[in-house]
Amino acid sequence: MTAGFGCCCCRCCSCIDTSYYKEADSWIKLTQMLLSVLCQWLCMGYGMPYSSSLGASYSVYLTTCSAAILTTAVLLITYTTSATSRALVRKSSYETVYHSLSSFLFLSSSSYLSWAVQSVLWPLYMNLSYHAAYVPMCVCYVSVSRSPTTPPTCPCVCYVSLIRSLRAHVCLLHMSGTNAQ
């Protein structure tokens, strides 16, 4: 285990386990966090003026993103500071349940947001010469093309849900004692 950072002739921050960031698991967690932050940033940046029009779907989606970011950050901090905690959490059902639930919540909340965006922002997009909020809000979920004029979107939620589903499977293997790395 490599603890801390090498500085000239000594080691600093010995409470940080830098070996964790050499594992694929850490990069997957960082990817989960970055995609969740991207989705939340797009919603906050472009959807806030329409939050009352989008209704509860907007709030539910933002809450899902916030919960995913917070929990992933707590797991990253825990795993970085304690190899013992990392081993214990991996053998428990916590991460399996978390990733399964998170995947389901992202898919269901994005479906709800999709309906609201298509109902509220689509007419604005078509009538107000390519309204600025429609495309970024579509990036947050998987857009089913309504017509040839619908812009192509990046299915962020598909990636987030797929990664979280795969992580749930890997965590299930860890929990059962099978080596999944």
pLDDT tens figures, 67-126 = 999 999 999 999 888 888 888 888 888 888 998 898 888 888 887 877 777 777 767 666
The residues, ordered by sequence, that sit 6+ positions from 97 with a Cβ below 8 Å of its Cβ are none
Q: Are 61 and 113 in contact (CB under 8 A)?
A: yes
pLDDT tens figures, 114-158 = 777 777 776 766 666 655 665 566 666 654 444 444 444 446 667
pLDDT tens figures, 3-43 = 655 656 655 556 677 778 888 888 988 988 888 888 888 88
Distance CA 91, CA 112 (A): 34
Domain ranges for the chain, please list them.
24-176
pLDDT at position 142, please?
53
Distance CA 160, CA 151 (A): 21
The residues, ordered by sequence, that sit 6+ positions from 141 with a Cβ below 8 Å of its Cβ are 110, 111, 113, 114, 117, 155, 156, 157
Q: Are 175 and 96 in contact (CB under 8 A)?
A: yes
Q: Are 111 and 62 in contact (CB under 8 A)?
A: no
pTM for the whole structure = 0.75
pLDDT at position 74, please?
93
